[in-house]
Structure 1
C-alpha cells in the first residue's frame, strides 16, 4: 500500500475577488485586498476591518476569506465553514471562498459537500487550478484513480507552477504502476522547488515499488539526515525495507517512529504488518488495534490508508469468538496523574484513583491495575499491558484522573513529564484518547473509558501557539466513539471538572464510587445517576456527559445483585 507525505491540498494561493475601488496604499483595506502582502499583516488588516465593521460587500467577503483561511490553519473548521458561508452570501461568485469552504468541509469528514463546493468553484472559474487538485485528493481517497489523475492533470494545466499538482499526480501514477510517468512528474516538481520534502518523500516509495531500493533509501535518508525526527520519512523508509524483505530494518524504523511519537497511526499499522509477517499475531493485533480506532471524522490521506489496513487486518486476525465462551472476566486500569513536573501538581487524582481502584476490586473485578504519576513512556507501557489483559476479558474499564484537554481537534491525556512548550508538542508528549480507546477495544462486551480529566489547561499561559493547531483551554471536545464503546467525561465537552476542596475527593469520583456499589443498577442508568448527583452536588456547575453505549442487546451491572 502506498505511503505518502501528507502535503495534499492548498488553500489561499490564488487571487481573491477584488472590488473596483482603489484605496489609498498602506491602509487596512489595501493590505487586506493585497494577496502578495505579508500574511500576518494581511490577517491583521482584515481583522481590523471586520472588528470595526468598516467593510461591506465584496471587500467584506475578501476579509472573511482571509479569516476563514486562518481558521482552517488552526483546525477550527466548524467556524471556518460559518465564516466562509457568510463570505459566500456576500459574493456568490467568489471561487476562492468556495475552494476554502470545500477544504473545511473535507476536514470535517463531509466529502460530498466538499466536492459540491469544488465543483461550484470550477463552474465559476474553470481555469482555477487549485480546486482541481483538491477535488483530486478526495478522488484519491476514494480510490478513484483515473478521476484523480484527470483532476491533477487539469490542476497542472491551469497552474503549472503549482508543485502539489505534480507530486500528487506522481503519487497517482505510482499507484497505477506508471512509474516512468511518476518519475517524470517528480522531475518537473524539482524544477519548481528542488528542496520540497514531498518530492523525495514520495519518490522514495515509487523507487521502492520499482525495486530500485538504493535510490529509494537515498531519497528517504536524505530527508532523515536533515530532519532526524521526521516520522513520515522514517515510516516511508520502514515500508521500503518491508518491500525489500528486511523485516528487522523495518521494525527498527517503526520502533524509532513510535519512540518519537507513540500516537503515530502509520507506525502502528506498519509495525503490525511486520509482526504479522513474523508470525507474532498477538503483537500484530495490538498494533493494528492502536491504529484502527478513530475519534475524528477526517484523516490525512496517508493516515487514512494506514488506518484502513489496520482495520482490515485486525478483523482478519480476530477470532469470531475470541477466547471461547464469555468468561465474565472484568479488568480495569486506573490511573491518577497528579505529580506534574512542569506545571502545578494536582493533589486529587492519585487519591481519587485509589478510591476507584478499591471500589472496583470490592465489586469483583478480577484484575485492577492501579498506577499513579505516569510519564509518557510508562503511560503507553501501562496501556499495552492492559490491552493484553482486555483481550482475555468481557469487560475492560479505564479510569483516568489528571490533566486532559483538546488541542487541534484531538483529545489528549497528559503524562506528568509533559512540557508542551508548543501546542503541537501534544502530538508527541501526550496520550491521544484514541490510544486509550484501543486499549479497551479487545474486550468482548463492555468497553468503558471514564475521564475525570476535564480541567483547565495549565500549560496554556506559556504555550506557544502555531498556525496549524487550535488550542482549547477548557476540557475535552465532544466525540463519537464506535459501536460498543462508552466514554464518560466528568464534565461535558468544553467545560471543566471541579476538584474536591480541603482534601476531599472530587464530586465526580465521589458519586461514581458510591453508585458503582449499588446492586442492580444497569450501567447506562448508573452514569445518568452519577450525572444527576454531580449536577446537584456542584450546584449546577458541573455536568458529566456520556458518549456511546455498551452493546444494546444485553444489560450490564457493576453489581448484579440477586
Structure 2
C-alpha cells in the first residue's frame, strides 16, 4: 500500500478517485474509513474523525468504524468523545470477534480518565473472553499501579510475561509484554514511582498537557561511584533552543535542558556541557568540541530540545538564528542529525541521542511550508492563523524515521511522523519522564526508555508515544545507575 511506504499523497489521491467513482454505500464507507486511517497516520486526527464519521453514516452498524473514530478522538485529547464511540463499538461487537480488543481499548481510555474501577471491569471482561490476551493483563497491571496496589500490579505483569510470544495479536502483544517487563524492573528497584498527573477529559490545548514540577534526583555518592566504575567515562552535550529570532519563542526547551543536565550530573556523568539558545555557528562549535570529548569517553550522549524538521528525508535541528524561508535553506541554516551522530561516533561503548523536537517548519509562510512537511499533508483547519507558538514545538507532524547503526540509540520524544507535546507546567512531558526515570537503579537502558515511553503515554492519554531507534550489543548491559 502506498501509505505503508510513506507516500501519503499518492495514497490519498487514489482513495479520493475511488470515493468519486463508487456509488455503493458499503464500499464508499470502506473508502472513507481507509482515507481516515491515512489521515490518522499523518496526524490529522480531526480530519480523520470527520471521515470516520462519514463512514459511520454510510455503514452505521460497523463496529470497527466507531472504534477507529474513538481512537482519533482520543488522539485529539477528547476522551469524552472517544469513550462514546468506544461504548457504541462494544455494543455493535455484541460479544463477537474483536470484543476483547474493544474492551481493552476502552479500559485504557477509562484509566487515562481516572475511572479505575470501570477500567478494571473492562480489562477483567477482556481476560475472561481471552485469558491469554497480554494487552488486557498489562492494562490491568497499569491500572493497579495507578491505584497504588503495586503487588497486584506486579502479579498482572508477570502473567502478561508468561503469555507465549506465539499466542497471536503480533505487535500488540509484543508491546504489552515489553511494558510488563519494564514495569516489573521499575517496581522491583525499591524507589518511589514517578508522579503522573491526571489527564483532562478534554484537553485544554491540542498541543500541550499538564506536567508536574520535578526535582533533580538524589543519588548516593557510592551508587554514582559504582556506576562510573562499571560503565566507564560518560560525557553529555545538552542543547536547549527556546529564544528563536524569526518565530515566537518556545517556553520549555531551555528549562528542559537545564533539568536534564542537572540530572546527569546527579547520577555521576563525568562531563556535562550545556548550550542554551545557540546559533548555527555556536551549535557547530559545541559539536566539534564535544566530538573530542566523545573520543575519550565510553558513553557519549546528546540531548536536544527545540525545533526540528525533516526535508527530503533528512532530519535537521534548528538553531535560534535560522530563518528557513524555503526548504533548501535548511542545508545552510540548520544542523543535520547526521552531524550530531558523527560527533558522538568516537565513543567506545554507547552513543545516545535524545530528541525532544519536531519536523514541521514554523518559520515559512503557508506558500513555502509544504516543501518542509510530509508529502501533501493537509493542514489542520483549526491551525489556520495559529499563534500558539509559545507552547508547542510544532504545528504539524514530527521528525522522520532514522536509521541507526552500531552501539547507538536515538530516542525521539514522539515517534516518527508524530508530534511532541509541550507541558503546561515548566517542562515537556518527555523531559519530565526522563528526569523521573533516569536515576532508577538497576534498570537496563532499553527497559528504562520503555518506562519513559509508557510514562509519556500515560501522561498524554496516548497522544504522544516516544520511540527508540537502534539496538545495543548483547554482550554488555548499560545502566544510568547501577544497583
Q: Under a length normalisation based on structure 2, what TM-score does the superposition of the two structures give?
A: 0.48
Looking at both structures, which has the greater relative contact order when contacts are Cα pairs under 8 Å and sequence separation is at least 6? Answer: 2
Larger Rg: 1
